[in-house]
């Protein structure tokens, strides 16, 4: 390039160079993927450092935890955590929690490639009663300590949640931390505050936490144990804004929760957000305050199968962007809502479920404009019985929802017709396909409120 050439020409040539290099890179990557199909198959791989493809090992590290006669003896979250961390440091394996009641003052933090297996209803993870108080010294986002009005009920090692109104009007600040040091009513936190907890925002702190926590993990199994949230003695100071769960998954892949009992939860039962290929199978959730199964924001390809849910605010709650999932063979009884769908909860298959005695509605579409409504969900061969009060609705489709298929479902009302409705289609819904549904015992089988000519 000569010094006299315009600057614009220089920028143009540089852009052409980068585009050319980018095209070469993409093309090379595509060619590499195409050749991968031609690679010889390795039916008996060896363990090679850094290679995720491993032999199917028949045995890995296993530790037992229990009140006695175990590798690690104890009945607290600390002893279970010690076992999980030990196994994780050795490349993964199994922690077997023997029969007993384990009293938790903080979350048990799972690790990738670790299997946590209990002894069914004989292995109980029990949340200790919560303590709550006010924070009495301003806290800024760089601070790593808090001062409490009353330190009674708080101990080093406790999991805590901090809640305050933001001083600059950004809403509510909520963070989760662990207490790691104490002098009187001053406690050091495991991490800095990251948010402002000024006295003007009425900051509070409580020993709230998920009993089992998975964050940024993959290939985890939680199986055959009982989680008791002790809701009668726990205050949820954030009023549910944190979407807390007795079992909580955040940004995880390939997690299995199987054969787990979750009871008396003061928040949600099992919640997973931005977590993909999650399997929740053959679990029993009952007597919860909020949402039993919370299929959380952005989660793809969830499988929720063979579970029983009883006496919670909602049986299965689809949060924002829960998509491409399979929900089948679940029994949902005596909840306010059996299932609810909202913001971008699209392309799910819901089949062969039993939804009974919902106080408000069996299946409810919460609404939303066309860009964010829950589209293209398919419901087939479900049984929905006794939904709502005298004006109850079994399936209620609201908002600008499109392309919902209702195929061969059975809707029954056994309490008398009153003014009950089988299927209600809201004014803005479009392309709702109903075929082969059996609707009995209601005053109106289908209430179509759309203004355009009916198909």
pLDDT digits (tens, 9 = 90+) for 174-198: 999 999 999 999 999 999 999 999 9
pLDDT band at residue 7 under the 50/70/90 scheme: very low
Residue 43: how many CA atoms within 13 Å on its side-chain side?
0
Residue 34 has a pLDDT of 55
pLDDT at 177: 98
Phi, psi (degrees; rounded to nearest 5) at 83: -65, -45
93 Rama sector, left if φ>0, alpha if ψ -120 to 50, beta otherwise:
left
Whether residue 4 has pLDDT greater than 80 = no
Integer Cα distance of 249 and 258 in angstroms: 14
What is the model's pLDDT at position 305?
98
Superfamily of domain 61-128+208-448: Single-stranded right-handed beta-helix, Pectin lyase-like (2.160.20.10)
- Identify the pLDDT of residue 227: 98
Is the model's pLDDT at 5 over the cut of 70? no
Task: Provide mean pLDDT across the span 381-392.
Answer: 97
* Four-CA torsion 407, 408, 411, 417, nearest 10 degrees: 90
Per-residue pLDDT at 230: 96
Q: What is the pLDDT of residues 404-428, one digit of tens each?
A: 999 999 999 999 999 999 999 999 9
The answer to whether residues 236 and 289 touch, using CB atoms and an 8 Å cutoff, is: yes
Interior angle at CA 252, CA 250 and CA 254, nearest 5: 145
pLDDT band at 453 (very low <50, low <70, confident <90, very high): low
Mean pLDDT (whole number) for 351-376: 95
**Tens digits of residue pLDDT in 25-52:** 445 545 555 566 788 888 889 989 888 7
Listed in order, strand segments (DSSP E) in 345-420 are 349-351, 354-356, 361-366, 378-380, 383-385, 393-398, 402-407, 410-412
Distance, in Å, from the CA atom of 53 to the CA atom of 47, rounded to the nearest integer, reads: 8
CB of 149 closer than 8 Å to CB of 128? no
Res 170: pLDDT: 85
Spatial CA neighbour of 162 closest among 209, 200, 117: 209
Give the chain's mean pLDDT. Answer: 91
241 or 350, which is more confident? 350
pLDDT at 14: 44
- Compute CA distances 235 → 123, 128, 161, whole Å: 24, 11, 11
pLDDT at residue 79, as a whole number: 98
Please give the Cα distance from 34 to 98 (Å, whole number).
Answer: 49
Facing residues of 444 across strands?
A: 421
pTM of the predicted protein model = 0.89
Residue 35's pLDDT is 63
In sequence order, what are the beta bridge partners of 256? 221, 279
Q: What is the pLDDT of residues 117-166, one digit of tens each?
A: 999 999 999 999 999 999 999 999 999 999 999 999 999 999 999 999 99
Res. 217: pLDDT tops 90: yes
Q: How far apart are CA 293 and CA 110, in angstroms?
A: 19
């Amino acid at each position: 390039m000569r010094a006299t050439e315009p600057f614009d020409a220089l920028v143009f040539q540089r852009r052409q160079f980068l585009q050319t290099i980018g095209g070469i890179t993409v093309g090379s990557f595509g060619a590499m993927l195409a050749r991968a199909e031609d690679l010889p198959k390795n039916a008996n791989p060896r363990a090679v450092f850094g290679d995720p493809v491993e032999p199917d090992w028949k045995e890995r590290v296993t530790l037992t935890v229990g009140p006695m006669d175990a590798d690690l003896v104890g009945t607290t979250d600390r002893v279970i955590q010690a076992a999980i961390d030990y196994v994780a440091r050795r490349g993964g394996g199994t922690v077997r929690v023997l029969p007993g009641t384990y009293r938790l003052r903080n979350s048990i933090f799972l690790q990738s490639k670790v299997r946590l297996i209990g002894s069914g209803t004989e292995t109980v993870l029990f949340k200790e009663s919560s303590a709550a108080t006010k924070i009495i010294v301003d806290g800024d986002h760089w601070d790593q300590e808090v001062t409490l009005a009353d330190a009674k009920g708080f101990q080093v090692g406790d999991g805590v949640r901090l809640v305050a109104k933001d001083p600059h009007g950004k809403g509510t600040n909520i963070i989760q931390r662990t207490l790691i040091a104490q002098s009187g009513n001053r406690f050091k936190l495991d991490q800095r505050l990251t948010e402002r907890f000024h006295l003007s925002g009425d900051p509070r702190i409580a020993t709230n936490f998920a009993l089992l926590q998975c964050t940024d993990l993959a290939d985890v199994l939680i199986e055959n144990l009982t989680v008791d949230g002790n809701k009668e003695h726990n205050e949820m100071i954030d009023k549910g804004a944190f979407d807390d769960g007795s079992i909580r998954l955040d940004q995880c892949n390939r997690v299995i929760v199987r054969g787990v009992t979750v009871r008396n939860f003061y928040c949600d039962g099992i919640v997973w957000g931005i977590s993909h290929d999650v399997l929740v199978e053959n679990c029993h959730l009952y007597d919860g305050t909020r949402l039993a199964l919370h299929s959380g924001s952005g989660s793809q390809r969830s499988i929720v199968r063979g579970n029983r849910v009883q006496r919670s605010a909602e049986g299965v709650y689809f949060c924002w962007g829960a998509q491409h999932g399979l929900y089948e063979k679940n029994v949902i009884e005596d909840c306010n809502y059996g299932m609810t769908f909202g913001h971008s909860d699209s392309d799910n298959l819901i089949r062969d479920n039993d939804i009974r005695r919902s106080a408000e509605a069996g299946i409810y579409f919460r609404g939303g404009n066309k860009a964010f409504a829950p589209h293209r969900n398919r419901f087939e061969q479900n049984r929905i019985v006794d939904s709502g009060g005298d004006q109850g609705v079994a399936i209620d489709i609201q908002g600008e929802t499109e392309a919902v298929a209702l195929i061969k479902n059975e809707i029954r009302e056994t309490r008398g017709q009153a003014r009950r409705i089988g299927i209600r289609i809201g004014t803005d819904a479009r392309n709702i396909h109903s075929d082969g549904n059996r609707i009995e015992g209601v005053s109106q089988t289908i209430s179509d409120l759309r203004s355009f000519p009916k198909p």
